[in-house]
Structure 1
Amino acid sequence: MTIVNIKKRANEIRTLLHQYNYEYYALDNPSVPDAEFDRLMQELIKIESDYPELRTEDSPTVRVGGAAVSKFEKVQHLNPMLSLSNAYSMEDLNEFDKRVRAEVGPDAEIEYVGELKIDGLAISLKYQSGVFHDGVTRGDGTEGERVFENLRTIKSIPLRLKQPIDIEVRGEVFMPKSSFEKSNVDRLANGEEPFANCRNAAAGSLRQLDPKIAAKRNLDIFIYALGENDLSYLQNHDESLQVLNELGFKTNSLTKTFSNMENLQAYIQQIHEDRPSLPYEIDGFVVKVNQLGYQQKLGMTSKAPKWAIAYKFPAEEVVSKILDIELTIGRTGQLTPTAILEPVQVAGTTVGRATLHNEDIIKAKGIKIGDYAVIRKAGDIIPEVVRPIVERRTGEEFEFVLPTECPECGSDLERLDGEVATRCINHTGCPAQVREGLIHFVSRDAMNVDGLGEKVVNQLFSNGLIHTVADLYRLRKEDLLKLDRMGAKSVDNLLQAIEVSKQNSLERLILGLGIRHIGKNGAKKLAQKFETMEQLKIATFDELITTEDMGDKTADSVYTFLHHTESLALLDELAQLGVNMKYKGPKPVVVAAGDNPFAEKIFVLTGTLHQMKRNEAKALIESRGGKVTGSVSANTDVLIAGEKAGSKLTNAQDLGVEIWSEEKFIEIIQ
């Protein structure tokens, strides 16, 4: 057989295997026996072994797992993967419906799509010319990790689509219950700890550095949304799901469209009753406005879309005994009481601790040490004590009494007027507050030091290597190598990650400092307004209060922090150690509304931009009051068309949308 014929045969087999994979994993309707699939796979493996030059990136043989990686690369999402607002009752869903109708219009015929909320890990998949090209975890919504090689081992992810298009899709990777049970049998046989639940198992499997391990875990996926795409003709969400299915993606067959909230709520109740019999875990139900035009009109907040909501099923409740109440101290000195329980299974995991929030909650619920109590997981995640079972008391139970001194450092405790929290006032000398502050400083939203998690911070702190955040930048290799489980390679990676964090933009440093009442959004607003730490330090209270979304309490907290001697000394240390003190992102541009070509306008980006990345262009538009969406519609004001603009350009021309070239966009920006 000639090489031409061998290549032709290899392509024929790949086409057949892609089709059989789609039938088996997406449609659950195989057209050939497993033996025929295996025979063709073995034939293809032999051809690619004998002729490596004939192996393609979309070959079904890549699913066995590629080479291991040393770490996962961080990747920015072009469009954020936002979380959803939560509903905990049918009344919450009715309120959501009212809000939607109030914004869209009382006479609008609104449809809702109801989808099962799969308990797994959100993922973005990208295809170029129909070939699977990249895969990234949701991460914090703006930045995830590239897990492409692990995703290629999931057989329900098509390696080649039925059309050669460029597209991004989003879905949920999960571990089926059958795979979960088998994995735990194998782990116990190997002397390993069993997985706690399907979600943890899926997340852990997808973050294995060796794809061959991920390949053995039998993960699955449901695709639930389009990301970046050129399918601008689509009008409804359910229509987009049908197109995704036709392209070869696996979507959930239990997804339905409803014309009213009553029928949707009845379906939710049915799904809740059927939940135990499903072959995968779910932790709720997602409701989305079906019409894409209405989705664009509703828009989103900084955290979540306003056209979707996640209904959380009522939490499973169990009974356990409260053995003790333990106090922990957070980075702001706040004391949090935690119930120590007799271990009990709740929603798939063994629970030995449950939050009690604060002293007032303990008193209001009448909880005593020694009580049997009802335990549940709030939102299926955080264990909490619901109520004591008073009828089971024996008389041996006793009241919890909050101490007058900090259990960590012995300092006085204080409760300010108007607050429910009791705090240790020894902010700089309390070991617990210092330790928690260090953990916060290196966390993902703050300085984002890769590899420096809570356990490592505790290890460094307990060994006396770090006392302040500045000490992180003085760590030496020879000191780290003396610690347990610290090899040369891991130490080098850690020191490199710490060095890289010095270049972070100012807002990450502001957040990392742990100023009370300052969150991620507030830190960014301060960095954008004052641009440098020097300018922020000399800002007056009146200047701080003019920062967007900043109230008196927050401004006072920032002012007090930046005029404290120890804070100023720490900032000087960090600057001397090379930590960046300047804002690196786009600064909001203040333009009179009549002169601002971006204010309150909807933009769409398409094609290849040569002078900047798309996320940079998006940031520039949003900083000037514009909004960027993914598809062209009658609501679009401007299309910015780069090279090879494709169908979005055609659709914009048909709709009479204003079109800018990249050059015109840059000229207007400047």
Structure 2
Amino acid sequence: MSEPSVEGVPVAVLKRHAELSELVEDARWRYYVLDQPTVSDAQFDEWFRELVALEERHPSLQTPDSPTQKVGAPISGDFAKVQHLNRMESLDNAFNDADMAAWQARAERLAERDPGPYLCELKIDGLAIAIVYRDGKLERAATRGDGRTGDDVTANVRTIKGVPHRLKGDDVPSLVEVRGEVYIPVADFKKLNEQLVEQGKPPFANPRNSAAGTLRQKDPRVTAQRPLRMIVHGIGVWEGAAEPKAQSDVYERLRDFGLPVSDLYRVVGSLTEVNEFIKHYHEHRHDPAYEIDGVVVKVDDFRLQRELGSTSRAPRWAIAYKYPPEEVNTKLLDIQVGVGRTGRVTPYAVMEPVVVAGSTVERATLHNAAIVVKKGVLIGDTVVLRKAGDVIPEIVGPVAALRDGSEREFVMPTHCPECGTALAYEKEGDADLRCPNARGCPAQIRERLYFAAGRYALDIDGLGYVAATALTQPLPPQEPVVRTEADLFDLTLEQLIPIRSIVRDMETGLPKIDPKTGEQKVVSFFSNLNGEPSQNARKLIAELEQAKQAPLWRVLVALSIRHIGPPTARALADALRSIDAVMNASEEELAAVEGIGSIVATTVKEWFEVDWHREIIERWRAAGVRMEDEPAPEKGPQILDGLTLVVTGTLEGYTRDSASEAITSRGGKVASSVSKKTSFLVAGENAGSKYDKAVSLGVPILDETAFDALLKEGPEAATALSTTPES
């Protein structure tokens, strides 16, 4: 019996083609428009190659609507739309030497001669941009979009350091469109994420997403504060001047015009040299300041480029060699679950330790039960583990061919592994099971205690994860000395000395295993061999005493109230000044505080209505924790109105909080990073990178004497005492 078909194409193939088309289109939309990719590059490439293979076997499937015939993705709805002067194309991909040889052979066959020399350059993992210069002046910048129409991001591109607003030189074309990649350097990306976390905002997943998200900011002032950079790698239009004869000639001309062009390209004469360049940067892919995911190879001669032409979506004279993600195989020994601060129960993979991307990995999150099913992994599988750079390790999937029948399915527990409470979804449609025993679950208490001591809460350095575990989950039959956060400020040295505890992994909360003995690691954290208080114990007691004087906003953060991070906590503390005022305020009064809103107001009100939450407040108050800030000073002259300051380093007469208060009470704003919009940098001892940034931008720098003058007499007096560096 023959397989069912439609016009000669098997029905199963038609269904798979439709499924792949939907997956590819959705992935492109999330990647290019939403800047929120949900699949890896490797997965996308796999889908796309399967789609191409189906169309090669069944040419009738290759219609103009097929994803294989399109470039990029539909444009977003948040920006004005512009037509590109020439279509912006995508690139075909190569994944091995055979793919490169096939590309070179096709080009040679079409050109009827050797297509070399070739220009090799790094494939930056950023966002494609086209910039139009008319009579040397930057006229317009747009994203690639669908290749013909893109988003107008001119205002944002103008803020990028290194992108000239006017080209220099006497031989500038009357009209030129340059194309390049916008990116954020890896080091700056890490700093940016640290700043976002400090501001209570979610960090970006990777540098590419941070660059794309930054370039699509509706407010160019936000973009200007981010460390965007650009490298130009080609032209779309060139009119009104003698056109260069080769790609490499263009780069030299563009560099002379003042445009940012990479130094990391090379012109070579043979495919062997091309492959050597590819191999070199595969081994040194983390050497450049930016993320790369491969190498782009181009026929250098422009006349030959025109002869070779393009397909419906990609030039025949260029190809992208994509490096594989950094992956290894390892054994999945078990899947266990950890319980977080909010009660969320997360499956974790426990694997044979393996070195990947320069670090040893033995645990990786699996997010939730549905993801375990979706990935198709079984306990006992050999799995593919991916870890690129500093990205969190990810299990890609199983190596099914290596299964021997001993593997077993993971079953999500029905009860909390740490307190035995029945797990439940918080609301219908949730993906995550949670332990509802917020008051008594030792895991949640441990996580909340560790959070309360964190840098952005009470800042108790002596209460790290090992200490939090020891206090809440000592080795049986010992009883915990901290049963809820309410016990924290009643701790004594006598309580700490006898505690022994199992060491737990900070990411998963699971016990750590001693590789020599195969048993759980146990530690006596608060006592020495003589049974006397350890330095850790004395440090914790001293820091708890000091934390009692923490400002109100830190206390609010430490309470683990949902949605209350440092910015919202500061807003509440500044407006209401005491814990009682916050607790007794109506939802309307809370929502009226700038930056709070109705959702957060409801959450805060509900938190304070819980009896055991209020017990924490009263126990802390009884132990001497300060529950109110000083009365708000009367609003004096707003002599700093309109000014933005950044405070860095150590000041003798001010804490960071008091310096910020002094600025805002006089009408000024305090920012966390230096930019061209910064009015002054207040720099104490050990000022660090913010000082260097101020020097590079020419921002006036105030020492403590000049800062005092600013607060008392205003900006003119401060300017007279400032250091104004040459930019």
Distance 1:451 1:626, change over 3 A: closer
Cα displacement string for residues 154-174 of structure 1 (whole angstroms, at most 9, x for unaligned residues): xxxxxxxxxxxxxxxxxxxxx
Report 1:149-188 matches (<5 A): none
- Of 435, 451, 476 in structure 1, the residue corresponding to residue 446 of structure 2 is 435
Question: What's the offset of the Cα at 1:139?
Answer: 14
Report 1:367-446 matches (<5 A): 367-377=377-387, 380-415=390-425, 416-446=427-457
Question: What's the offset of the Cα at 1:625?
Answer: 5.2
Partner of 1:452: 463
Cα displacement string for residues 7-65 of structure 1 (whole angstroms, at most 9, x for unaligned residues): xxxxxxxxxxxxxxxxxxxxxxxxxxxxxxxxxxxxxxxxxxxxxxxxxxxxxxxxxxx
Work out whether 1:533 is the aligned partner of 2:579.
Answer: yes
Cα displacement string for residues 140-190 of structure 1 (whole angstroms, at most 9, x for unaligned residues): 879xxxxxxxxxxxxxxxxxxxxxxxxxxxxxxxxxxxxxxxxxxxxxxxx
Aligned equivalents of 2:190, 2:678: Cα separation in 1: 32
Cα displacement string for residues 518-573 of structure 1 (whole angstroms, at most 9, x for unaligned residues): 22322222222222100000121222223333354433222111111111111111
Report 1:229-244 matches (<5 A): none
Work out whether 1:103 is the aligned partner of 2:119.
Answer: no
Amino acid at match of 1:103: N
Equivalent position SS for 2:574: helix
Question: What's the offset of the Cα at 1:281?
Answer: 7.5
Report 1:562-581 matches (<5 A): 562-581=608-627
Q: Is the 8 A contact 1:354 1:383 kept in 2?
A: yes
Aligned equivalents of 1:258, 1:371: Cα separation in 2: 56
Equivalent position SS for 2:612: helix
Partner of 1:474: 490
TM-score when scaled to structure 2? 0.47
Please identify, of 527-536 and 470-479, the stretch whose mean Cα deviation from structure 2 is larger.
Answer: 470-479
Equivalent position SS for 2:127: helix
Question: What's the offset of the Cα at 1:612?
Answer: 5.8
Distance 1:274 1:666, change over 3 A: same
Partner of 2:506: none
Partner of 1:524: 570
Equivalent position SS for 1:321: strand
Cα displacement string for residues 328-379 of structure 1 (whole angstroms, at most 9, x for unaligned residues): 1112110010011122111122211111111222233223223322112265
Equivalent position SS for 2:387: strand
Partner of 1:626: 669
Aligned equivalents of 1:319, 1:258: Cα separation in 2: 49
Question: What's the offset of the Cα at 1:428?
Answer: 1.0
Amino acid at match of 1:521: P
Equivalent position SS for 1:398: coil
Aligned equivalents of 1:640, 1:439: Cα separation in 2: 32
Aligned equivalents of 1:279, 1:315: Cα separation in 2: 11
Partner of 1:560: 606
Partner of 1:465: 481
Aligned equivalents of 2:127, 2:631: Cα separation in 1: 38
Larger radius of gyration: 2
Q: Is the 8 A contact 2:329 2:382 kept in 1?
A: yes
Aligned equivalents of 1:139, 1:103: Cα separation in 2: 20
Cα displacement string for residues 361-412 of structure 1 (whole angstroms, at most 9, x for unaligned residues): 2233223223322112265242221222334344443332222222222212
Q: Is the 8 A contact 2:418 2:442 kept in 1?
A: yes
- Of 115, 127, 132 in structure 2, the residue corresponding to residue 93 of structure 1 is 127
Q: Is the 8 A contact 2:590 2:597 kept in 1?
A: no
Amino acid at match of 1:93: L
Partner of 2:361: 351
Aligned equivalents of 1:613, 1:477: Cα separation in 2: 29
Amino acid at match of 1:454: Y
Aligned equivalents of 2:597, 2:188: Cα separation in 1: 38
Report 1:534-613 matches (<5 A): 534-583=580-629, 598-602=640-644
Aligned equivalents of 1:410, 1:651: Cα separation in 2: 58
Distance 1:283 1:324, change over 3 A: farther
Report 1:133-212 matches (<5 A): none
Aligned equivalents of 1:603, 1:345: Cα separation in 2: 45
- Of 714, 724, 727 in structure 2, the residue corresponding to residue 665 of structure 1 is 714
Partner of 1:327: 337
Aligned equivalents of 1:138, 1:651: Cα separation in 2: 20
Question: What's the offset of the Cα at 1:574?
Answer: 0.6
Distance 1:613 1:104, change over 3 A: farther
Q: Is the 8 A contact 2:333 2:379 kept in 1?
A: yes
Partner of 1:25: none
Question: What's the offset of the Cα at 1:424?
Answer: 0.8
Report 1:191-340 matches (<5 A): 263=262, 274=280, 285=291, 315-340=325-350
Question: What's the offset of the Cα at 1:284?
Answer: 5.0
Question: What's the offset of the Cα at 1:435?
Answer: 1.8
Cα displacement string for residues 246-304 of structure 1 (whole angstroms, at most 9, x for unaligned residues): xxxxxxxxxx999657748979x999965676699889559xxxxxxxxxxxxxxxxxx
Report 1:16-31 matches (<5 A): none
Aligned equivalents of 1:438, 1:86: Cα separation in 2: 32
Amino acid at match of 1:425: P
Aligned equivalents of 2:447, 2:709: Cα separation in 1: 49
Aligned equivalents of 2:467, 2:162: Cα separation in 1: 55
Aligned equivalents of 2:628, 2:535: Cα separation in 1: 31
Amino acid at match of 1:532: S
Equivalent position SS for 2:352: strand
Q: Is the 8 A contact 1:114 1:257 kept in 2?
A: no
Aligned equivalents of 2:611, 2:619: Cα separation in 1: 12
Percent sequence identity is 32
Q: Is the 8 A contact 2:452 2:559 kept in 1?
A: yes
Amino acid at match of 2:555: L
Question: What's the offset of the Cα at 1:444?
Answer: 2.0
Q: Is the 8 A contact 2:162 2:229 kept in 1?
A: no
Amino acid at match of 2:127: L
Amino acid at match of 1:110: V
Aligned equivalents of 1:406, 1:437: Cα separation in 2: 17
Cα displacement string for residues 120-143 of structure 1 (whole angstroms, at most 9, x for unaligned residues): 999xxxxxxxxxxxxxx999879x
Question: What's the offset of the Cα at 1:596?
Answer: 6.2
Aligned equivalents of 2:486, 2:583: Cα separation in 1: 18
Partner of 1:292: none
Aligned equivalents of 1:325, 1:462: Cα separation in 2: 22
Distance 1:261 1:495, change over 3 A: same
Question: What's the offset of the Cα at 1:450?
Answer: 1.9
Aligned equivalents of 2:256, 2:277: Cα separation in 1: 14
Question: What's the offset of the Cα at 1:114?
Answer: 8.7
Partner of 1:192: none
Aligned equivalents of 2:185, 2:156: Cα separation in 1: 26
Question: What's the offset of the Cα at 1:640?
Answer: 9.8
Report 1:98-137 matches (<5 A): 101-103=154-156, 105=158, 110=163, 117=186
Aligned equivalents of 1:585, 1:282: Cα separation in 2: 52
Distance 1:472 1:366, change over 3 A: same
Q: Which runs of 5+ in 1 are unaligned?
A: 1-84, 123-136, 143-235, 239-255, 287-312, 653-658
Aligned equivalents of 1:258, 1:314: Cα separation in 2: 36
Q: Is the 8 A contact 2:163 2:260 kept in 1?
A: no
Question: RCO greater where, 1 or 2, for CA within 8 Å and sep 6 or more?
Answer: 1
Amino acid at match of 1:665: G
Q: Is the 8 A contact 1:324 1:340 kept in 2?
A: yes
